[in-house]
């Protein structure tokens, strides 16, 4: 793993954005793996700014998002489709038809998961997968536990994850209890992975992910098995590594 601790906000965003932009400059048809949550927002803002300055185009790129809540209408402000449109897609030249996010309202979720994996198999591998990390070490919505699933699947969200994400909802009762997420196997198939973490509340998860044993009890620790991971941390998230 290649660790970078970056104290200035602008430098954090710039470093992440440069990795994405550099990839698109050498391979305009790159397949991007995208994440939601607060961690990637400044990187997306920087990419939007670079796009406005003519420094990067997404016109031939495609994207696959990691996850989506089950049961939120697609136009709900906290659905990951709404998040991606609002924070990135509406401001760049990507063809929306080539942006993929699991459908958490599909009538047959198992079939939706299989179809998502089939699309990834056909159009992938993902060239660069962006990841955040949960305070409990989850990536995507792969929650810690006795085992992990390889492919896209439906997960029950742990109480701590619903609690953490309740900051985006009027009350915790409105936070969905399930999500569709790419599995660890799918995530690890990406050619390169960019893990972003900011803030002291991520420090312990980052320590376990980077320095701890490889264990399903910290899903992000599986990233240690991948040959090409870049970890961008601010001082607080990186205080124990
Ligand atoms: C969410 C998402 C993850 C994200 C994580 C951290 O639940 N499913 O993909 O990485 O939690 O979010 P944040 O960056 O807001 O701390």
CATH (residue range 2-233): 3.40.50.1360
Triad 194, 19, 5: Cα angle to 5°: 60
13 token code pair: 């965003």
> In this predicted model, what pLDDT tens digit does every residue of 11-53 receive, in sequence order?
999 999 999 999 999 999 999 999 999 999 999 999 999 999 9
| Cα 49 to middle of ligand 1, angstroms | 23
Going by CA atoms, what residue is nearest to atom 5 of ligand 1? Answer: 134
Ligand 1 pocket mutation, candidates 83, 129, 138, 183, criterion most atoms within 8 A of CB = 138
Is residue 113 a contact partner of residue 141, using CB atoms and an 8 Å limit?
Answer: no
pLDDT tier for residue 151 given thresholds of 50, 70 and 90: very high
Q: How far is the CA of 122 from the centre of ligand 1 (A)?
A: 27
Question: Model-level pTM?
Answer: 0.97
Which residues sit with their C-beta closer than 6 Å to ligand 1? Answer: 35-39, 66-67, 132-134, 140-141, 161, 165
The two tokens of residue 220 are: 């992000």
Q: Where do the structural domains in the chain lie, given as residue ranges?
A: 2-233
Give the three-class secondary structure for 31.
strand
pLDDT score at 122: 98
For residue range 91-130, list pLDDT tens digits in order: 999 999 999 999 999 999 999 999 999 999 999 999 999 9
User: In angstroms, what is the span from residue 158 Cα to ligand 1's centroid?
Assistant: 13
The Cα 188–Cα 194 span in angstroms is: 11
| Residue recorded with tokens 């098995």 | 225
Q: What ipTM describes this predicted complex?
A: 0.95
């Amino acid at each position: 793993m290649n660790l970078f601790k970056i104290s200035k906000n602008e430098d954090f965003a710039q470093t992440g954005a440069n990795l994405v932009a550099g990839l698109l400059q050498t391979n305009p048809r790159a397949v991007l793996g995208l994440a939601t949550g607060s961690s990637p927002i400044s990187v997306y803002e920087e990419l939007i700014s670079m796009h406005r300055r003519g420094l990067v185009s997404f016109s031939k790129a495609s994207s696959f998002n990691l996850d989506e809540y089950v049961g939120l209408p697609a136009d709900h402000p906290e659905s990951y489709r709404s998040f991606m449109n609002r924070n990135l897609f509406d401001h760049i030249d990507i063809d929306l038809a080539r942006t993929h996010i699991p459908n958490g309202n599909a009538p047959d979720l198992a079939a939706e998961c299989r179809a998502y994996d089939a699309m990834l198999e056909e159009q992938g591998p993902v060239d660069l997968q962006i990841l955040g990390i949960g305070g409990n070490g989850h990536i995507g919505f792969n929650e810690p536990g006795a085992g992990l699933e390889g492919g896209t699947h439906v997960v029950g969200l742990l109480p701590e994850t619903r609690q953490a994400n309740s900051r985006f909802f009027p009350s915790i009762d409105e936070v969905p209890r399930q999500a569709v997420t790419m599995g660890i196997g799918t995530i690890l198939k990406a050619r390169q992975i960019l893990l972003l973490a900011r803030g002291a509340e991520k420090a312990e998860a980052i320590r376990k992910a980077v320095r701890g044993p490889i264990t399903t009890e910290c899903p992000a620790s599986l990233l240690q098995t991948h040959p090409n991971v870049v970890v961008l941390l601010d001082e607080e998230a990186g205080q124990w590594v």
